[in-house]
Amino acid sequence: MLSFLKEEKISPDLIQGVENYRKEFPAPPELQPRIPVPHFHYYGKDVWEEAIAALLCGQNLLLAGPKATGKNVLAENLAAVFGRPMWNVSFHINMDATGMLGTDTFKNGEVEFRPGPVYQCAVKGGFGVFDEINMARNEAMAVLHSLLDFRHTVDIPGYDLLHADPACRFIATMNYGYSGTRELNEALASRFAVIQLPTISMESLERLLKDEFPALRSEARKAFCQIFKDLEKKCQESEISEKALDLRGMLDAIHLMEAGLEAHKALDLGIVNKSFDEYEPGLIRDVINLHIPGNYTKEEIFEG
Amino acid sequence: MAKLKYDAKRRRALNIVWDVSWDYHFDPDFLAYTESGTPDLYLNAVVGFTRKYYDVKLIHQMFEEMEDSALRDTFTDLFWLGLEYATYAKEAPVRPVLPYLRKQHARAYFDGTKLDKTGVAHEMQAARWHEVLGEGLDLHDPWAKGLYANLCFDPSWDTQQLCDHFRKITKKYFVSHFLVRESLEKVIISKGLGDFIDWLLPHVFRKQESVFNFLYSKKQAMDILAGKNAHNGLMAIITGQTASENYNYIIDCFGASIYPPRKMLDIDQAWCNGPHRGCHLHFTRGRLGSKGATGEASRWLQGAHAQRVKNLSYYKDHGEQCRKSIARLTHQLRSVMRMAQTRLPVPAKEGELVPGLVWRALKVNDSRVFFERETVSSPDFTVDLMLDASASRGEYQQVIASQAYVIAESLRQCGIPYQVYSFCTLRNYTVLTLFKDYADKKRCTNIFNYVATGWNRDGLALRGARQLMGDFTQTRKILIMLTDAEPNDDKPLVGDGLFSSSEYRDEKAVANTADEAASLRREGIRIIGLINGENQHIMKDARKIFGEDCVEVRDLDKMADSVGKMLCRQIESL
């Protein structure tokens, strides 16, 4: 990953900072399997530099942005770059302290504490990823305030005071517009350095497809990228829901084409069918039809 | 459902235009549909390319010029044919799929029924699609060949050059061709002959001559709405209630529509069909003052103002009673909403330890000695309050306004999104006056503008309510209808057969209203009837429409409890 940062022309000072951090906090062998090996790279020099700088300064990160902006890809990439084990916590409306820190359980005739993912992450100095943090109620998040600010501690009722490892960082992600999401209150937001992730650029999208599908012809690559950008625009204009704006779905569809499935059918599976609305699929298919012909063959899509 | 389908087609056509133009604020003058009525992918893309590459204001002016021409449809088609050529040449290098789409469109053209048609526009279009398919142009006449060559607009031209060129060719190939003397130009290019043809043929027939399938220019929408193209019967002309007069009267009394003309036309086409064929829906926020109104409309507005004063005065006189009702109803609603969000403790293997249950782990090996809290929450919902404002409500106007205010204020205090509107029918228009919409957070004192007049075509009003509810994929809807359950209108209920119309009253009107209510229920809308009237069969008819979800509300005191019970039952069941 460090070589990738150099390719991205990230500031040498920051890369040096990451190297120093890794030397200072080497991951023990038993936690190695928790260090992610990213399948995708996050592209965007500015965002990389902001994120690395914040984490090196001991701050927590809040990655905000609409769907398909690479929030989770970046979080995973950061854990990999810093060489830290990662704990992922998916937030939901009923998330409470027990779901994050741990709960009492009954074992061998005794009540004992079963640590939750945030507790383990804090103790073992990992990177905790709070996925869709604004799905949870602010009151539920209040228990984490002392852990997320300069105190780096949290009192577990009936047990002891938990001190977070100095290597520990938390990276939260949020999509402001998702249904079921709410405003983050000031108390919580002030404990994070916030990065607004831009929508993926045409150039980055092309790079992504080039990395993932080296045999993809340039014309086909451009067409798929343009389909994605057109759908993104359509979502921004609220003409369709975000269900169809699915980068993973687009990549899956191209994999299906590679395996021999006809292009339109593959895009139906990867993108169109994700909308269960009565009319949206028609709008999405029109976007696709305005970029790829009905008889698009595998030879026209892939080289060799 | 007709509305949904219609809207969906238009929305889809617009989206194609926006897909290629990337201007989602662009409201094109033309949209294209195939013969089966589905949006035409290629031609709508051409509309989008035109927006992308040219100055649409100048293009719009060009079409406006053609609007008054006797050969309007022909010229429109020919101009589009020229634009198609130029935009294709510009877009093809950056959109590799375009040659494929163009060929598909050409093939579809020859597979369609348009081949039976004759005329210059058809001949030119056929030549274009022959050329696209690599076939001969099939043009033999030198005049036609010349015209076709001139319809291949040079892609390097700007919009002004395109328009100037088109003006030249219309003059050269139409005026000169049929030319006999210079003054003929006026006949072909200007309005006189167009009006004559309009008089001879109904408007639609002439419009459908367009072989390009481009429909609905903005101007036409406005003309149709204002009744300018309607055929008025003899009685309508004698009584002065022509379609155009009626439209103006409704606007003068109730205020302008909340929707733009084209949307209003869409709404009329979508909802005013079947048993309500020939009727219209008008949505307004009402009007302030009577400035500019004359005659009957002015008198009506003065009456409406006097009624507002009476409504407010009644509310003041019964202020204490109303406040108590608001408090009671608010309390009831809050309780049911709190209940809906209660977190119920359930035994679990982890969570909050319950000492009283520990023995079960030791003695009966049941390790569920903790409580976990399971949240039970109700989905989001909104409430629509719809008030019958027909003349039969005359003597209850003040009571109804106060009752409606009590309900509205309670909903507001509970933070439930709601909207309030009244409905009445006169001169073929079922008018829905919107006092407050979901987004408005203030107290709804506009309810005191409530005034009763005309008939009540409840069936059509329910369709109107559905329109005002908008999209509700994310929220549930509860509709409260304050009515006497006695639908009546002077415009008959249209049947399927030629002579099967019947008066819109009594059983048939109740049956129609019940059908429309059932249709809303099928869409998931909960409907509650608050019945207030004199007829002794009132509840019998109300049950036909609302089933068990109706209650008689006579005075303010009992209303809060009755409404509270009905509303709470609906909220709990959501």
Q: In Å, how far are B309, B330, B521, B556, B558 from B321, measured between CA atoms?
A: 19, 14, 34, 7, 10
Task: Kindly indicate the confidence band of residue A106, based on its pLDDT and cuts at 50, 70 and 90.
Answer: confident
Separation between Cα atoms, residue A66 and residue B473, nearest integer Å: 21
A42 SS3 class: coil
What pLDDT sits at residue A67? 81
Tokens of B500: 């099967």
Separation between Cα atoms, residue B510 and residue B514, nearest integer Å: 6
The arithmetic mean of pLDDT across residues B16-27, rounded, is 89
Instruction: Say which residues have a Cβ less than 8 Å from residue B427's Cβ, sequence separation at least 6.
Output: B241, B246, B249, B250
Angle between helices B2-21 and A280-289 (to 10 degrees): 30
**pLDDT tens profile B444-494:** 888 999 999 889 999 999 999 999 988 776 678 999 999 888 898 888 888
**pLDDT tens profile B226-238:** 655 555 555 555 5
Average pLDDT of chain B, as a whole number: 80
Separation between Cα atoms, residue A112 and residue B361, nearest integer Å: 14
- Search chain B and give the residue with CA nearest A240: B15
Residue % of chain B over a pLDDT of 70: 80
Q: Of A251-265, B234-248, B506-520, which gets the smallest average pLDDT?
A: B234-248
Distance from CA of A243 to the nearest CA of B (A): 14
What pLDDT sits at residue A13? 93
Phi-psi region of A141 (alpha: psi -120 to 50; beta: other; left: phi over 0): alpha
Residues of A in contact with B355 (CB under 8 A): none
What pLDDT sits at residue B500? 66
- Any A CB within 8 A of B8 CB: yes
Domain-wise residue ranges, chain B: 2-215, 320-326+379-572, 342-376
Angle between helices A45-56 and A12-24 (to 10 degrees): 40
CB B308 within 8 A of CB B542: no
Q: Is A63 exposed, middle or buried (0-12, 13-18, 19+ CB in 10 A)?
A: buried
User: Does the beta-carbon distance from B12 to A279 stay under 8 Å?
Assistant: yes
Separation between Cα atoms, residue B420 and residue B556, nearest integer Å: 18
Angle between helices B72-91 and B159-170 (to 10 degrees): 140
Average pLDDT of chain A, as a whole number: 88
Task: Kindly indicate the confidence band of residue B213, based on its pLDDT and cuts at 50, 70 and 90.
Answer: very low
Separation between Cα atoms, residue B121 and residue A86, nearest integer Å: 68
Between B186 and A301, the more confident residue is A301
The arithmetic mean of pLDDT across residues A84-100, rounded, is 85
Separation between Cα atoms, residue B341 and residue A87, nearest integer Å: 31
Q: Which B residues, 138 through 157, put their C-beta within 8 Å of a C-beta on chain A?
A: none
Q: Of B137-141, B161-165, B464-468, which gets the smallest average pLDDT?
A: B137-141
Helix (H) or strand (E) holding A119: helix A117-124
**Most confidently modeled range among A71-80, A170-179, B548-557:** A71-80
Among B24, B375, B474, the residue with its CB nearest the CB of A179 is B474
- Any B CB within 8 A of A283 CB: yes
Residue % of chain A over a pLDDT of 90: 54
A34 SS3 class: helix
Helix (H) or strand (E) holding B237: helix B234-239
Find which of A286, A287, A300 to mutate to test the B interface (most B CBs within 10 Å of its CB).
A286
**pLDDT tens profile B68-114:** 777 777 888 889 999 999 999 999 999 999 999 999 999 988 887 65
The arithmetic mean of pLDDT across residues A137-162, rounded, is 84
State the CB neighbour count (10 A cutoff) for residue B312.
17
Between B300 and A126, the more confident residue is A126
b/e per residue B50-65 (b: at least 16 CB within 10 A): bbbbbebeebeebbeb
User: Does the beta-carbon distance from A106 to B370 stay under 8 Å?
Assistant: yes
What pLDDT sits at residue B111? 82
Cα A124 from chain centre: 22
What pLDDT sits at residue A92? 79
**pLDDT tens profile A222-255:** 999 999 999 998 887 767 877 788 888 999 999 9
CB B285 within 8 A of CB B433: yes
Residues of B in contact with A99 (CB under 8 A): none
- Tell whether the torsion through CA atoms of B162, B167, B173 and B176 is positive or negative: negative
* CATH superfamily membership of B320-326+379-572: von Willebrand factor, type A domain (3.40.50.410)
Amino acid of residue B552: E
Amino acid of residue B284: T
The arithmetic mean of pLDDT across residues B220-229, rounded, is 54
Residues of B in contact with A224 (CB under 8 A): none
- Search chain A and give the residue with CA nearest B49: A290
Cα B147 from chain centre: 42
What pLDDT sits at residue B532? 82
Whether A120 has a pLDDT exceeding 90, the answer reads yes
Torsion, Cα B46 B48 B53 B56, to 10 degrees, reads 110
CB B423 within 8 A of CB B386: yes
What pLDDT sits at residue B190? 45
What pLDDT sits at residue A54? 95
**DSSP state letter for B230:** -
What pLDDT sits at residue A245? 85
Residues of A in contact with B347 (CB under 8 A): none
What pLDDT sits at residue B241? 63
Cα B216 from chain centre: 15
- Tell whether the torsion through CA atoms of B540, B542, B545 and B547 is positive or negative: negative
Tokens of A41: 């790279």
The pairing of beta strand A127-131 with beta strand A169-174: parallel
CB B457 within 8 A of CB B505: no
**pLDDT tens profile B334-357:** 767 765 555 556 778 887 778 777
Instruction: Say which residues have a Cβ less than 8 Å from residue B105's Cβ, sequence separation at least 6.
Output: B40, B41, B42, B43, B129, B132
What pLDDT sits at residue B568? 80
**pLDDT tens profile B344-398:** 567 788 877 787 778 778 877 888 888 876 655 545 788 999 999 998 888 888 9
Between B277 and A55, the more confident residue is A55
- Any A CB within 8 A of B375 CB: yes
CB B335 within 8 A of CB B410: no
Task: Kindly indicate the confidence band of residue B191, based on its pLDDT and cuts at 50, 70 and 90.
Answer: very low
What pLDDT sits at residue B156? 94
**pLDDT tens profile A281-300:** 999 999 999 999 998 989 99
**pLDDT tens profile A168-214:** 999 999 886 554 455 677 788 889 999 999 988 898 899 999 989 99
Among A106, A234, A279, the residue with its CB nearest the CB of B361 is A106
ipTM value, please give it.
Answer: 0.75
What pLDDT sits at residue A121? 94
Helix (H) or strand (E) holding B325: helix B319-340
The arithmetic mean of pLDDT across residues B273-282, rounded, is 88
Whether B193 has a pLDDT exceeding 50, the answer reads no
Whether B217 has a pLDDT exceeding 60, the answer reads no
**pLDDT tens profile B239-249:** 556 777 888 88
Helix (H) or strand (E) holding B572: helix B556-572
The arithmetic mean of pLDDT across residues B400-408, rounded, is 91
- Tracing tokens 């609007």 back to the chain, one arrives at B67
- Tracing tokens 């809290």 back to the chain, one arrives at B373
Separation between Cα atoms, residue A22 and residue A82, nearest integer Å: 6
Instruction: Say which residues have a Cβ less than 8 Å from residue A168's Cβ, sequence separation at least 6.
Output: A121, A122, A124, A125, A126, A127, A128, A152
List for chain B the helix, strand, coil content (%; round to 5): 55, 15, 30
Instruction: Say which residues have a Cβ less than 8 Å from residue A99's Cβ, sequence separation at least 6.
Output: A89, A116
Among A94, A237, A279, the residue with its CB nearest the CB of B8 is A279
Residue B165's closest CA among B83, B84, B89?
B83
Residues of B in contact with A295 (CB under 8 A): 100
Whether A47 has a pLDDT exceeding 70, the answer reads yes
Whether A69 has a pLDDT exceeding 60, the answer reads yes
Size of interface A-B (CB pairs under 8 A): 81
Instruction: Say which residues have a Cβ less than 8 Å from residue B96's Cβ, sequence separation at least 6.
Output: A219, A223
A238 SS3 class: coil
Tokens of A254: 């191209």
Instruction: Say which residues have a Cβ less than 8 Å from residue A78's Cβ, sequence separation at least 6.
Output: A51, A52, A55, A61, A127, A171
Strand segments, DSSP code E, in chain A are 61-64, 86-90, 102-107, 110-115, 127-131, 153-155, 161-163, 169-174, 193-196
